[in-house]
């Protein structure tokens, strides 16, 4: 009676979709960070929303686990959600790194080097 029952694990589709969406989200963040592609008023506000909202979802995924995500798509998770939780932390940190003004950070370092050279002369 039960000899033809097979268990299929399709939760890898949800995991793959999660990785693809999280990686593709880096494209608009890069475009907003670079000044040669997009220039408009209020760019920092848009960038803040594009960083904090997905970083919040990554945090929730890390804190609560991936079971809710699998159940939303009607899949049963047969494997550990450790890699997805770890990648949630990594993606959230990468998203937050886009908030830094790297030009100002690196400019201060070069200014101090120039000031040191002027002091030596």
Read off the tokens for 48.
């803040």
Euclidean distance between CA atoms 58 and 68, whole angstroms: 13
Q: What is the mean pLDDT of residues 31-54?
A: 77
Provide the CA 102 distance to its chain's centre, in angstroms.
Answer: 18
Domain regions of the chain by residue span: 11-120
Q: Is the pLDDT of residue 6 over 60?
A: no
Q: Is the pLDDT of residue 7 over 60?
A: no
């Amino acid at each position: 009676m039960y000899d033809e029952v097979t268990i299929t694990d399709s939760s890898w589709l949800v995991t793959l979709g999660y990785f693809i969406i999280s990686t593709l989200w880096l494209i608009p963040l890069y475009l907003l960070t670079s000044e040669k592609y997009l220039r408009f008023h209020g760019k920092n506000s848009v960038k803040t929303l594009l960083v904090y909202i997905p970083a919040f979802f990554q945090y929730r995924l890390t804190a609560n686990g991936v079971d809710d995500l699998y159940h939303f798509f009607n899949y049963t998770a047969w494997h550990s959600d450790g890699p997805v939780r770890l990648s949630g932390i990594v993606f959230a940190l990468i998203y937050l790194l886009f908030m830094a003004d790297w030009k100002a950070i690196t400019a201060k370092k070069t200014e101090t080097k120039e000031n040191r050279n002027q002091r030596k002369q």
